Copies of this chain bind each other. A is one copy, B any other.
Amino acid sequence: MFIKKHLVLIFMLSFAHAAFADDGYRLWLRYDKIQDKNTAALYTKQLQQLLFPGSSATIEKVKAELTEAFTGLLGKPPVGTKQVTANGTLIIGTPATAKIIATLQPTELNQINDEGFVILTAILQGKTCTVISAKTDIGILYGTFHFLRLLQTQQNISTLHIVSSPKIKFRLLNHWDNLNRTVERGYAGISIWDWHKLPDYIDKRYIDYARANASIGINGTVLTNVNANATILSPQYLVKVAALANVFRPYGIKVFLTARFSAPIEIGGLKTADPLDAAVQAWWKQKVKEIYTLIPDFGGFLIKANSEGQPGPQDYHRTHADGANMFADALATYNGIVLWRAFVYSSQSGDRFKQAYEEFTPLDGQFKSNVILQVKNGPIDFQPREPFSPLFGAMPKTPLAMEFQLTQEYLGQGTHLVFEAPLFKEVFNADTYQKGKGSTVAKIIDGSTNNFSLTAIAGVSNIGNDINWCSHPFAQANWYALGRLAWDYDLSSKQIAEEWLQQTFSNNAFFVSAAYNIMLHSHEALVNYMTPLGLAHIMYNGHHYGPMPWGNTLGRPDWNPVYYHKADSAGIGFNRTATGSNALAEYKTEVSDLWSDSNTCADKYLLWFHHVSWNHTMRSGKTLWNELCYKYYTGVDSVIAIQQQWNTLEKFVDAERFNQVQQLLNIQVKEAVWWRNASLLYFQTFSKMPIPSKYEQPDKTLEYYKSLRFPFAPGN
């Protein structure tokens, strides 16, 4: 009996520990040995030699990556050669570095831009070769990472013809990281930037961060919080920033900083920060010069001004354009850019939804050419679902950047599995009709609609110093998706999820399809159990953890949940039609027509634009109240289904990450029920209608849910 138990124990443990443990640190760059013998053998045959001339800081990193990847995937590092002496030669280079590529002169090279790459199967000197070529070393970097992705996902590499360039110029992470290492809206530990030990201590994480970003095409990072601290611009800190820039440079990643508008006063000793004041302009010019002396390829500034208490040009009765252009002038000499955030809303707003449009559209055309306006995907603030921001169709003379939030401030924070690619795609594919049908948000962002070469997509980072970077193993997928979609927004959520799963967990087809199914439904599930039918911003005050639709205690109306749902005895929802705030008028007619009639408006946006009676008949034939109940219960059921599906995947995943996800899904189910019950019990006080008896009724009272407090909720 003991023996049996013990042997079982032995099995369990060797499974649980050693071989099968994975702490998630390696992200999607695991390079574990390819288990499928045939595939491994084939790759070994197809990659017998490496012809990789040239050398530069970037090329050395690419060679290092190849060595690590081949050693991991195939059991041995690549064998260098100077000639094509056999089939299965991998050739990597630019026409400048590799004669053979110059002679080959693939016409495809003319189809790519400076960051693009070409991967071809070709016959050279009678031998079958795989050729990764590009115009620049950075293109080589991206091409090699793409090729390694093919190997990691076990694709057929026998006849490759890949021509790829990024559709967006600046593909950025925005870190809301403070100098004391707290991270605003961070749920994965503290900042990975250990400012105190910089510049002398280079954490291995900085290098692995650069590798991970380069592997998905991210080419810039804003190191500091948009709620900025001027200290980052002091000489003491700029040398620290320079040390990070030195680590990132070979990986094609530029550093950006957030500029505190009042820095000339706080660290410059000036009396004003007026953007039209000559001394202020001179101070910034000098500061920018100081930065470029240390960091020749510094990217520029991201600036949050006159928003949520941040100082800005309006403090001096100047416009956002006045402010942005001051920085633009200082940066222009060095090809630096200004990312000016459009996230503004003043306290005396009629409808917060309309504010950014009202403040910025009058300024269209007034910004210098190296200024790009960074706009959140929706008009409010990273809600589970929002209609696209009307600014995207309204500023033809101004380059617009997309700001998504990877960190899940309003999407379950650290404990909910939510794959955001479908959310990103929904925004990209939305049609603004700015220049007629097909003027999608993507076509605005990529510059094609209004002919801009300055383009950018930013994701607010979900990275912290947790061992696995993002706390929730599946949160890594949102970082991954941002990079992949910024490179090519036409990639499908399915392809992104599947290649991420294959690299991060397993190539097992059953696992991948089951886990993809989980990811695919996760966003809609969250929308349903948190804010269905176009509800928004009913999270708890401040930390935004959990439901608080009753919230009505904050000084500013537009900080209170009741402002957003406007539930009353008559119904629920925010009337933004002509009979209400008329925010719909900020969209082109083709768009507003879609949403202006509560009988034709899509369910998912209904309460964004209409105050609808509890008895309103929905498409489904149900009353609004019953539809609301249906959605909330469906949301919970979806998470339970996801939980059950995950529990069937234990044998495909290492014990460590399987248990992490399992525990987190258990929490997500609990919290989904909490969201459903608290929200419906509260809204019921207005609808006076019963939760249909077929549903499991709430087991706690509204008073109980109102009594919950979370004094130390993270990220606040």
A303–chain B nearest beta-carbon distance, Å: 22
1/0 per residue, CB under 8 A from B, across A157-184: the answer is: 0000000000000000000000111000
Q: Is the CB of B9 within 8 A of A63?
A: yes
Given that A3-B82, A179-B712, A712-B195 are known contacts, is A663 also in contact with B202, CB under 8 Å in the complex?
A: yes
Interface positions, chain A 1-55, Cβ under 8 Å from B, are 2-3, 5-7, 9-10, 13-14, 17-18, 23, 25, 50, 52-53, 55
Chain B residues in 8 Å Cβ range of A670: 200
A196 touches B467 (CB 8 A): no
**Cβ B465 vs Cβ A82 within 8 A:** no
Contacts of A200 in B (CB 8 A): 663, 666-667, 670
A626 neighbours in B (Cβ, 8 Å): none
Q: At the interface with chain B, which of A67-75, A130-138, A501-509?
A: A67-75
Contacts of A414 in B (CB 8 A): 196-197
5 intermolecular pairs with C-beta atoms under 8 Å apart: A6-B80, A10-B67, A18-B72, A190-B465, A195-B712
Please state if A80 and B195 are interface contacts (CB–CB under 8 Å): no
CB neighbors of B among A636-692 (8 A): 656, 659-660, 663-664, 666-667, 670
How far does the alpha carbon of A670 sit from the alpha carbon of B201 in the complex, in Å? 12
Apart from A10-B77, A17-B71, A200-B666, list 11 A-B contacts with CB within 8 A. A2-B53, A6-B80, A9-B64, A17-B68, A179-B711, A179-B712, A196-B414, A201-B664, A201-B667, A231-B712, A465-B465
Cβ-defined contact, B13 with A67, below 8 A: yes
**A53 CB contacts on chain B under 8 angstroms:** 2
Complex interface: chain B residues within 8 A of A711 (CB): 179, 231
B663 engages A3 (CB within 8 Å) = no
Chain B residue with the shortest CB-CB distance to A466: B465
Cβ contacts under 8 Å, A82 to chain B: 2-3
Q: Within 8 Å of chain B (Cβ to Cβ): is A204?
A: yes
| Residues of B with C-beta under 8 A to A78 | 10
Known A-B contacts A18-B71, A68-B13; the reply to A467 vs B197 at CB < 8 A is no
Which of A63, A231, A710 has the most chain B CB atoms inside 10 A of its CB? A63
Residues of B within 8 A of A195 (CB): 712
Question: Residue A60 at the B interface, CB < 8 A?
Answer: yes
Identical subunits present = 2
Chain B residues with CB under 8 Å of A25's CB are: 23, 467
Q: Is A713 an interface residue (CB 8 A)?
A: yes
Contact of A415 among B71, B201, B415 (CB under 8 A): B201
B residues within 8 A CB of A712?
179-181, 195-196, 231
CB neighbours of A71 from chain B (8 A): 13-14, 17-18
Q: How far is the CB of A527 from chain B (nearest CB, A)?
A: 23
Q: Nearest 4 pairs between A and B by C-beta?
A: A6-B80, A10-B77, A13-B67, A3-B80
- CA A358 to CA B640, docked complex, whole Å: 63
CB distance from A615 to the nearest CB of B (A): 39
For the complex, is A412 an interface residue (Cβ under 8 Å from B)?
A: no
Contact between chains at B197 and A13 (CB < 8 Å) = no
* Interface size range of chain A in the complex: 35 or more
- State the CA gap A6–B59 with chains docked (Å): 11
Does A189 belong to the interface (CB within 8 Å)? yes
CB proximity to B under 8 Å, residues A190-220: 190, 195-197, 200-202, 204
**Quick check: is A378 within 8 A (CB to CB) of the other chain?**
no
The answer, yes or no, to whether A88 is at the interface (CB within 8 Å) is: no
- The reply to whether the CB of A449 lies closer than 8 angstroms to some CB of chain B is no
User: A379 at interface (Cβ–Cβ under 8 A)?
Assistant: no
A183 to chain B, nearest CB (A): 11
User: What's the minimum C-beta distance from A228 to chain B, rounded to whole angstroms?
Assistant: 14
Q: How far is B76's CA from A18's CA once the two chains are assembled, in angstroms?
A: 11
Chain B residues whose C-beta falls within 8 Å of the C-beta of A80 in the assembled complex: 2-3, 6-7, 10
Q: How far is the CB of A3 from chain B (nearest CB, A)?
A: 5
What is the bound-complex CA distance between A667 and B243, given in angstroms? Answer: 15
- A200–B416 Cα distance when bound, in Å, is 13
Residues of B within 8 A of A67 (CB): 9-10, 13-14, 17
Q: Which of A6, A17, A23, A195 lies at the interface centre, i.e. has the most chain B CB atoms within 10 A of its CB?
A: A6
A714 on interface, CB distance cutoff 8 Å: yes
- Tell me whether A713 and B196 are in contact (CB under 8 A): yes
A81 CB within 8 Å of chain B: yes
Closest CB-CB distance, A101 to chain B, in whole Å?
A: 15
Closest to A671 in B: B200
Residues of chain B lying within 8 A (CB to CB) of residue A189? 189-190, 465
Check B2–A204 contact: CB distance below 8 A: no
Enumerate chain B residues within 8 angstroms of A664, measured Cβ to Cβ.
201
A23 → chain B closest CB, angstroms: 7
For A663, the chain B residues whose CB sits under 8 A away are 200-202
Provide the bound-state CA to CA distance between A80 and B5, in Å: 9
A6 and B667 within 8 A (CB): no
Q: Which of B6, B60, B81, B465 contacts A63 (CB 8 A)?
A: B6
Name the residue on B nearest A11 (C-beta). B77
Chain B residues contacting A467 (CB-CB under 8 Å) are: 25, 467
Does the CB pair A197–B64 fall under 8 Å?
no
A64 / chain B contacts, CB cutoff of 8 Å: 9, 13
Q: A23-B25, A53-B2 are in contact. Are A14 and B77 (CB under 8 A)?
A: yes
